[in-house]
Structure 1
């Protein structure tokens, strides 16, 4: 009898070993944050501070998105409306730069202290708005370490089959490595909105027509020339042989009809890398010729120089230690106009190709200006002084880890933010944070005018009248689509409204608010849609979020 019982027990354990892997093998937390952006970090930190288990699962190896990948000259807008964890991040940077050993390549008193409409070092509020990439990344890692948050890096969502849904909720997500992650609440904190899309939530790519939301600045903007990122009245021929259409068109100029002003399209604003450059010789690496370098890609720039333009270095913005955050500027610059339209919905393989093409373009442009004998001598002699910063992005050839995805998918959620809310024409009743930056879109097309000249289209800068509230519903899918997902980065907004909301301090603000909502839903055992706003508001204010314009 004993022998028979022992045999049956052995048979049972053998059968268990032979069965497929059970759900117990899934990695679980109360909240799974998918993405490694700045907003992902503040989401996870807030959840942890509210006593819930949380894990970051991300394709990234480095946390912080653009904030730690070159965008150190922060787009602050009105800094008074940056509160909570977002402000706490900039206070961490302030603490770092108060240390003498933080100033390796220059003395603190030699730093110019210029920010975007604000001093870089704000002693009164103990914030630092301008910073080096590696310092930002260290601050994000410190946030994670303080809360003992586990980060699963280099984990890519299986976008085809990796989202399990049940009764309107995400049950689990599976990555391409085969790992499965289960949670009660999920947060999509990616720039691309990949989890949101894989879960079947509705979204938009491109510009809506102005008629969709009753806007003025959303659709195609042919004839609108804001900022200085256009050809103005320069009558530059787009053809290889000037004024001869039969000779063919120069590289990086579209021959397609740009469309009618105010109409919608499926195009997205240009991407670039925010490179960290320096002139300081001990820390400088000279620009190298990319493997696929092709000087013909930059012929148009020579004609722009011939017209007298000399603003190449206008957006070489100073950050500490004799470095710069370099952004696009002018009619032909680091924005790779028209080469990213398929990025938002592209496969990982195709996105990699797009990113590599952008990297080749931008590295090639730097090399071209520094070395091509046709470049004006005054420009070339200046560019030869610059190079990549040796002490940044050391594991990536000193090139930024993250391309600047200025816009990809945008959710169509419970509430759609439009220019009407940004401009104060329509009220927001349930604020979860504030924005204030210009409604800013980079160029989307480079086309040929009816007169036969080259022109850029899509660059817009329209200032809000005052800081504005961002609606709770903008981070929530419609309840009928998903009841346990929040989206604080690819938020529900029109193209032009997103142009203001998409600033990194705001993503951190919305991340904290998403984390608050997730933790409260878990505490009450309800869907994220079912918590009263008064309760949400009370907690957000207690944690330092700014929900109303301090100046109103």
Structure 2
């Protein structure tokens, strides 16, 4: 058995920030990373940083963007960067801080955590390794360790009345951005309901606005593309290509949609290409099973997303039903030869916009984000728009296809994120902190779920873990005054 002061499950940006802080506070620390690559989305294609207000970012999170700047020979933080540069910063940190990383190690999905008296004693990995620790951090996008420890969580959208929210649950009236053109026929054979609905289209919204459901905002891959012929490989037609998946795109183009994904430029003629407009890279409606799925099923879901997106690019570049002007606009873009070289130049990191969300003694919700409810124990700041991508497609009252769930609500000011939202209920687990799948409603998570915030929460989680080890207390009993003092000393913005 291997034993540590702090065991961090998940080498995401939050996990790395936590490990750096833990080492600086003297903890024997290990990162357990299920894949072969560190950094999660920050090194996985999300180079166009969703930061909100930069004044709300400090500590190790800000240091990451400052180190990115230094890689480009700049003195200021850089918020738009290539995946390989982000990875190089994280690897520098791992080497400089002497952080131990166990790659390609996954938690057993059944009996993965041995617990006693609301405490994780050890975790068991698929390889047979058993890792014990005084404290644990779940820094994954999925919350697998949190579940294994028996901690309460939610998935999907709460009804608006659960936390007194306006923008949670089904949102047909509010879903205005990234909407399909009006007038798209929903049936396989236009005008013939007996032919059945197009793939991914539901007969109705599944309920009234504000009602909760099991659905998740859509996933995609953040595509790093280039039009540099010397550093480019074109995307082939996927073997699993199914033209029926793109019938809705053909009809959207017929009805006037001309942009199908962003080409936001990064340094060296590369992009962070994300979802844009009504039919795009988000594979809407095909991720609902992901949070609770077995690893093998998750791999199938991820592979389906990859095939869908590669098919999307190939179709936009080659299919005769795509107008020539659109084909010409997209035809020069392929995958960079100098990125993701161990994965055929495609990012291995699926953009898991939400999965499980812990339910602790304080659930961050839109009332905290609008500063209607006070937070007295801040451990980080959020500031980005409440941003939920589309959740489903359905036939509207007029008989046409419409998207539902894309809610974009701006905030008036940065807001504090509570320490109680990253620690479980004390009755459930006393030595686990959850900075990524934290306690939040669906719509509030749409703002919190940004990489700079995850890094800040990772640093705060490790600081609290170190104070708990020193005091010999539960994470819930950490003295907030001491935590706040150390966070401010280390540059956190609270």
Equivalent residue for 1:149, pick from 99, 114, 117? 99
Q: Which of 384, 389, 402 is the equivalent residue of 1:442?
A: 389
Mark the runs of 5 or more structure 1 residues left unpaired by the alignment: 1-25, 99-120, 548-552
1:270 and 2:218 matched = yes
Match of 1:337 in 2: 284
| Equivalent in the alignment of 1:74 | 49
Q: Distance in 2 between matches of 1:403 and 1:255?
A: 28
Matches for 1:325-404 after TM superposition, within 5 Å: 325-404=272-351
8 Å CA contact 2:260–2:281 kept in 1: the answer is no
Distance of 2:474 and 2:175 partners within structure 1: 46
Residue 113 of structure 2 is matched in structure 1 by: 163
Partner of 2:161: helix, strand, or coil? helix
Match of residue 133 from structure 1: 83
RMSD: 1.0
1:383 and 1:239 mapped to 2: Cα distance?
Answer: 28
2:180 paired with 1:231: yes
List alignment gaps of at least 5 residues for structure 2: none
The answer on 1:186 being equivalent to 2:122 is no
The Cα offsets for residues 135-161 of structure 1, whole Å up to 9 and x where unpaired, read as 101111111111101100110101211
The answer as to whether partners of 1:222 and 1:258 remain within 8 angstroms in 2 is no
Q: Which has the larger radius of gyration?
A: 1
TM-score (norm 1): 0.88
Residue from 116, 126, 149 that aligns with 1:199:
149
- Output the CA distance in 1 between the equivalents of 2:230 and 2:99: 37
Distance 2:227 2:474 in 1: 54
Q: Is the 8 A contact 2:260 2:275 kept in 1?
A: no
Q: Deviations over 1:257-278 (max 9, x none)?
A: 4321000001100000001001
**Which digits, 9 at most, give the CA deviation of each residue in 1:377-418, with x for residues without a partner?**
001112211111111101101111100000000000121100
Q: Is the 8 A contact 1:35 1:190 kept in 2?
A: yes
Q: Distance in 2 between matches of 1:259 and 1:271?
A: 22
What SS does the corresponding residue of 1:327 show, helix, strand or coil?
coil
Normalising to structure 2: TM-score of the pair? 0.99
SS of 1:171's equivalent in the other structure is strand
The match for 1:44 among 13, 16, 19 is 19
- Aligned residue in 1 for 2:238: 290
Contact 2:201 2:393 in 1 (8 A): yes
Match of 1:60 in 2: 35
Instruction: Give the SS at the match of 1:212.
Output: coil
1:426-437 to structure 2, matched below 5 A, reads 426-437=373-384
**Of 225, 248, 251, which aligns to 2:196?**
248
User: Structure 1 residues 155, 256: CA separation in 2 closer, same or farther (over 3 Å shift)?
Assistant: farther
Q: Which aligned segments of 4 or more residues in structure 1 are displaced greater than 3 angstroms?
A: none
Match of 1:215 among 159, 165, 172: 165
In the comparison of the two structures, how many residue pairs are matched? 494
Encode CA deviations 1:218-239: one digit per residue, 9 max, x unaligned: 1110122332x1125x111011
Give the drift of 1:241: 2.1
Q: 2:369 aligned with 1:422, yes or no?
A: yes
Output the CA distance in 2 between the equivalents of 1:224 and 1:407: 20
Give, in whole Å, the separation in 2 of the partners of 1:384 and 1:274: 18
C-alpha separation between the residues in 2 aligned to 1:53 and 1:76? 31
1:499-520 CA-to-partner distances (Å, cap 9, x unmatched) read 0000000000000000000011
Per-residue CA shift, 1:343-365, capped at 9, x if unaligned? Answer: 00111011011001111111111
Aligned to 2:339, the other structure's residue is in SS state coil
- Are residue 96 (structure 1) and residue 45 (structure 2) matched? no
> C-alpha offsets along residues 416-453 of structure 1, whole Å, 9 cap, x if unaligned?
10000000111101100100000000000001112210
> Aligned to 2:120, what secondary structure does the other structure show?
strand
Tell whether the 8 Å contact from 1:243 to 1:452 is kept in structure 2 after alignment: no
Alignment equivalent of 2:440, drawn from 469, 490, 493: 493
- Find the counterpart in structure 1 of residue 462 from structure 2: 515
| Structure 1 CA distance for aligned equivalents of residues 196 and 112 of structure 2 | 46
